[in-house]
Structure 1
Amino acid sequence: MEEIYNTYRPEGFGTVTPYIFAEDPVKLIQFLTLGLKAEELQRTKDPKTGDITNCILRLGHSCLMVSRARPPFTGMKSSFYLYVDDVDIMHELAIKAGAREVFSPADMPYRDRQSGIQDMEGNYWWISKRLEQSEY
């Protein structure tokens, strides 16, 4: 069964890659680049409307895609677990870039330092650093 997943994927793309349909993709992309230090790799716009039809961003070793929400692809909320080296700094950057704090950085009983934020589209981001090199 695993051979069905044995296909080419561009660098940074996992077997599952998040795709966010946003009401305001420009604002979300700005938040991702400023607040979470994402790198924008590619942006495609509709030549008639100027709407973003696809934007690929890299966060660390992973990519995600953003597009304007439009029928039949309406915006929907999601949550993401983001591993970083310094939770406190990333949390502060995210808040300065417009995120709403869900909870401030703290050491968790499952051995992650973690904070929670919510972006302007309503997505939750759990900003985490594993405090030990072990499985959960």
Structure 2
Amino acid sequence: MTTGFTPPGHNTVSPYLLVPSVVDALAFVIATFQAVELYRVAGENGGVKHAEVRIGDSVLMMGERGSAALPGSIHVYVPNVDAVYGLALAAGATSVSEPRDLPYGDRSAGVRDPQGNLWWLGTHIGAA
């Protein structure tokens, strides 16, 4: 949706992760969610100062902040929670919550990426 005050393809609200290494964060979201890199601003010493990726219909922004990084918490709807949970673990995440069916109709799981961010994965399966 274009609003006239957002870049084309961006929503009004975009999550922004502050991470120790954008390069590592990019590798994780590409391996786990098949994210598509949209934009990258080079930083010092081969790092990345800012990057944007598309996951499904949403844009995720991230910036490199070294020791001042703050872990975030993001919820992502995916076609198959179990498969994406496995991809996340293979990409270096640790399990926070194994896939399970919840009473509000989602199958859900949680992982913590190597930089400390929490990723809540969901697939809507209908009311339980």
Shorter-chain TM-score: which interval? 0.7 to 0.9
Q: TM-score, normalised by structure 1?
A: 0.83
Does residue 62 (structure 1) correspond to residue 74 (structure 2)? The answer is no
Q: Is 1:21–1:76's contact at 8 Å kept on the other side of the alignment?
A: yes
Q: TM-score, normalised by structure 2?
A: 0.88
Cα deviation, residue 70, structure 1? 5.0
Deviations 1:18-46 (A, max 9, x none): 11111122111101101221111121103
Taking the aligned partners of 2:39 and 2:106, their CA distance within structure 1 comes to: 32
CA RMSD across the alignment: 1.8
Partner of 2:29: 32
Partner of 2:14: 17
Partner of 2:39: 42
Structure 1 moving runs of 4+ over 4 Å:
none
Taking the aligned partners of 1:10 and 1:90, their CA distance within structure 2 comes to: 29
Answer with 37-46 or 90-99: which moved more. 37-46
Q: Which runs of 5+ in 1 are unaligned?
A: 1-5
Cα deviation, residue 16, structure 1? 1.2
Deviations 1:34-68 (A, max 9, x none): 1221111121103x543311111010000011121
Aligned residues: 125
Equivalent residue in structure 2 for 1:114, among 97, 108, 128: 108
User: Quick one: percent identity of the two aligned structures?
Assistant: 33
Cα deviation, residue 12, structure 1? 3.8
Q: Is 1:12–1:58's contact at 8 Å kept on the other side of the alignment?
A: no
CA change 1:38–1:117 in 2 (3 A) is same
Taking the aligned partners of 1:76 and 1:97, their CA distance within structure 2 comes to: 20
